């Protein structure tokens, strides 16, 4: 809410390296490939690009862009970092060119019968943006650059039906690509506690798993850890719940009929966990709570 992004050093000792100031509350963040830039979107519709400053060490604001309505979620395009995708509270997904500041693409999530729908969460692969909206839909948009180098087309590929009767926001979307199988596994997690795994291949979306997680936090996201070939570990999902801590579930044991049972509880927080993120190698899980505490958990599987 303070509009701050804190760059922190974790090892050998914890320290705040720099605070990036914004004029409004920050809704979402994304790192570019290679961690060369940070993208932040804010409640006032500003989209801020940060890059390391030279010759002095630190981060500097490279450019500030603007979209209509609050900016809720944002992602760099994975193949061209000049393009950024932003989901807004007005029900649009917008593609911006950070070099020119121009809007190069726009897709409206809502129709005349869906007043008030907004983009709630987003993940991207090389050719598809996966957008969770406020009514429980998973919307797939074409962001391929091969046929449109001037900007992603942002055309509709597919839209799933909500997995539950409740029309609630999709709090988080995560995608894991399998290049060998030419398919993606997508995790969605809704505010009513419904977690779904989807298999996406050649534009077709199939629901692989659906489970209701009891007593969820209405503010947290869910993160998926894929199986490890080296250790033969099973795939898991981590959630922040209303009680302080993080709950980890074995996806192989989740189903729509049986009540889920946790395989592990990570305790140490004094307030509800509202943000989770795995490191790129899935060895460290970062958990942040409403009081501003951040705990790093090492994956010992």
Question: What's the pLDDT at 256?
Answer: 62
Query: What does each C-alpha distance from 264 to 173, 267, 296 come to in angstroms?
Result: 22, 10, 15
Q: Which residue has the higher pLDDT, 214 or 211?
A: 211
Question: What's the pLDDT at 221?
Answer: 81
Cis preceding-peptide flag for 55 (omega within 30 of 0) = yes
One-letter-per-residue 3-state SS of 203-268: CEEEEEEEEECCCECCCCCEEEECCECCCCECCEEEEEECCCCEEEEEHHHCCCCCCCCCCEEECC
Question: What's the pLDDT at 42?
Answer: 95
Q: What is the pLDDT of residues 18-39, one digit of tens each?
A: 888 999 999 999 999 888 899 9
Rounded mean pLDDT of 214-238? Answer: 69
- Prediction pTM value: 0.89
Lowest mean pLDDT of 44-58, 97-111, 219-233, 274-288, name the range.
Answer: 219-233
Dist. CA 88–CA 108, nearest whole Å: 10
Rounded mean pLDDT of 117-124? Answer: 91
Rounded mean pLDDT of 69-84? Answer: 95
Rounded mean pLDDT of 222-236? Answer: 68
Tell me the average pLDDT of the chain: 86
Question: What's the pLDDT at 41?
Answer: 96
Question: What's the pLDDT at 240?
Answer: 83
* Percent of the chain at pLDDT exceeding 90: 48
SS3 272: coil
CATH of domain 3-212: 2.130.10.10
SS3 124: strand
Q: What is the pLDDT of residues 124-173, one digit of tens each?
A: 999 999 999 999 999 999 999 987 888 899 999 999 999 998 888 999 99
Rounded mean pLDDT of 31-52? Answer: 93
SS3 34: helix
Q: Which residue has the higher pLDDT, 17 or 72?
A: 72
Q: Is the pLDDT of residue 114 over 60?
A: no
Q: Is the pLDDT of residue 88 over 90?
A: yes
Lowest mean pLDDT of 130-134, 229-233, 245-249, name the range.
Answer: 229-233
Tokens read off for 114: 């869906």
Lowest mean pLDDT of 13-27, 228-242, 266-280, name the range.
Answer: 228-242
Domain ranges of the chain: 3-212, 214-300
* Percent of the chain at pLDDT exceeding 70: 90
């Amino acid at each position: 809410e303070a509009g701050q992004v804190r760059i922190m050093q974790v090892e050998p000792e914890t320290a705040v390296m720099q605070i990036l100031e914004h004029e409004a509350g920050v809704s979402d963040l994304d790192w570019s490939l290679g961690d060369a830039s940070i993208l932040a979107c804010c409640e006032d519709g500003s989209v801020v690009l940060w890059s390391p400053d030279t010759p002095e060490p630190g981060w500097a604001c490279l450019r500030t862009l603007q979209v209509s309505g609050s900016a809720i979620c944002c992602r760099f395009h994975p193949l061209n970092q000049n393009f950024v995708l932003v989901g807004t509270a007005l029900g649009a997904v917008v593609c911006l060119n950070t070099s020119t500041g121009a809007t190069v693409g726009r897709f409206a999530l809502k129709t005349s019968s869906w007043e008030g729908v907004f983009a709630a969460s987003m993940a991207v692969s090389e050719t598809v943006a996966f957008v969770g909206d406020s009514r429980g839909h998973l919307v797939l948009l074409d962001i391929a650059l091969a046929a449109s180098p001037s900007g992603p087309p942002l055309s509709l590929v597919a839209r799933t039906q909500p997995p539950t009767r409740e029309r609630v926001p999709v709090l988080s979307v995560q995608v894991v690509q399998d290049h060998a199988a030419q398919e993606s596994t997508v995790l969605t997690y809704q505010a009513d506690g419904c977690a779904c795994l989807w298999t996406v291949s050649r534009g077709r979306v199939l629901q692989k798993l659906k489970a209701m997680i009891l007593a969820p936090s209405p503010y947290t996201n869910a993160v998926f850890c894929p199986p490890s070939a080296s250790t033969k570990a099973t795939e898991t999902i981590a959630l922040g719940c209303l009680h302080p801590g993080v709950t980890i579930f074995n996806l192989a044991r989740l189903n729509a009929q049986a009540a889920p049972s946790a395989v592990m509880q990570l305790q140490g927080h004094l307030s509800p966990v509202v943000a989770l993120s795995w490191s790129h190698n899935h060895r460290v899980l970062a958990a942040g709570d409403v009081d501003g505490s951040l705990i790093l958990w090492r994956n010992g599987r």
